[in-house]
Amino acid sequence: MILVTGATGLVGAHLCLRLLEKKIPLVALYRRDKKKEATRAFFAANDKLSLFELIEWRKADLCNLPQLTKAFEGITQVYHCAAYISMAYHKQAYLQEVNQQGTAYITNLCIENKIQKLAYVSSIAALGSETTSAIIDETTPWNPTEEKTPYAYSKYGAELEVWRASQEGVPVVIVNPGVILGNGMPRTPYAQLVNQVKKGIRFYPTGKTGYVAVEDVVEAIVGLMNSSIKNERYILVAENWFYKDIITFTAKALGRRAPKWTLKPAYLYLAWAIESCLSGLRFRKKFLSRALIRSLTDTRNIDGSKIQSSMQFDYRPIKDYLKDLFNN
């Protein structure tokens, strides 16, 4: 039996649909009934409500070991898609608890239950960041002396737990998707960008990042799970886009005004300094960090080509995919 964590999120919901369409039975974890209903709505929107009824739902918080232990009964393979996503500095404790400690529980149970294979959905945030190279790939080393965002630390720590499972005899694969695009689920990173564009965005940061369709992420992890590949990492990035271009494209698709002004690094660091002072005086919670500013101004490309040399796989073009999202 297959276990899917994060089944109430974008990747998890699409993964459940893909597996059920192939008549593969599965167990899905959920934390709150409201979140489970979002997955039901996604299946209903795709006229697949009958498949939703085939899911065996097991309630378990990622940080609740007794609940997770019970959820692992009869499980042979695990897709670990669950995670908390936030770039806010003040969320660092919760990020560590959910992403790293929660993954430690998952990997311990995989070892204990002699799971056949574990597929973990990480993030490009957990990749290395060698400043002397113009390209980031799977071989780029993690620099422990460079400050990272709390989200990056939590996902990197989670990866260490997964690699520990591989050393204990559990075959693993890790994928590092860029910003995942897709429809059907609320509060995804791109959905939040769309909402901001609707309200109006006047400024754009100078950097770029990688993007990938959710269907490509699902295709990759299912293919890797069913292959003989083990103990490998794969970046999943179809294309790298400057923030200006992705915001402008979104604004035009929504009939909104495109941003005109560059959000220069100096302005971001000034905002960080002011916010740090206000946070120290307890007037507001701290969101910005120097690491986040660096990521917003980073212009290096992220290379997602390795998977194409390991299995038959083609990325969906991002511009065409975005057009389809807005048309639908």
**Residues with Cβ < 8 Å from 176, sequence gap 6 or more?**
122, 123, 124, 126, 127, 138, 233, 234, 235, 236
**Distance between CA 315 and CA 323 in Å, rounded?**
15
Q: Kindly state whether residue 295 falls inside one of the protein's structural domains.
A: no
pLDDT of residue 139 exceeding 80:
yes
How many domains does the chain contain in total? 1
Residue 233 has pLDDT above 80, yes or no: yes
pLDDT on residue 161? 97
Report helix, strand or coil for 180: strand
- With a cut of 80, say whether residue 282 has pLDDT above it: no
Contact between 189 and 247 (Cβ < 8 Å): no
Percent of the chain residues past pLDDT 70, beyond the cut: 99
Let me know if residue 196 belongs to a domain: no
Residue 147 within a domain:
yes
Summarize pLDDT for 205-227 with one digit per residue, the tens: 999 999 999 999 999 999 999 99
Spell out the residues 6+ positions from residue 74 whose beta carbon is closer than 8 angstroms to its own. Answer: 1, 27
304 pLDDT higher than 90: yes
| Domain-located, residue 174 | yes
In a domain, 202, yes or no: no
CA distances from 289 to 38, 78, 241 (A): 32, 34, 22
Q: Does the predicted model carry a pTM greater than 0.75?
A: yes
Of 68-77, 169-178, 183-192, least confident by mean pLDDT is: 183-192
Which domain does 86 fall in, by range? 2-188+210-240+301-318
Instruction: Indicate the pLDDT class of residue 115, thresholds 50, 70 and 90.
Output: very high
Kindly state the tokens that stand for 154: 């939590």
Q: Determine the average pLDDT of the residues in 170-181.
A: 97
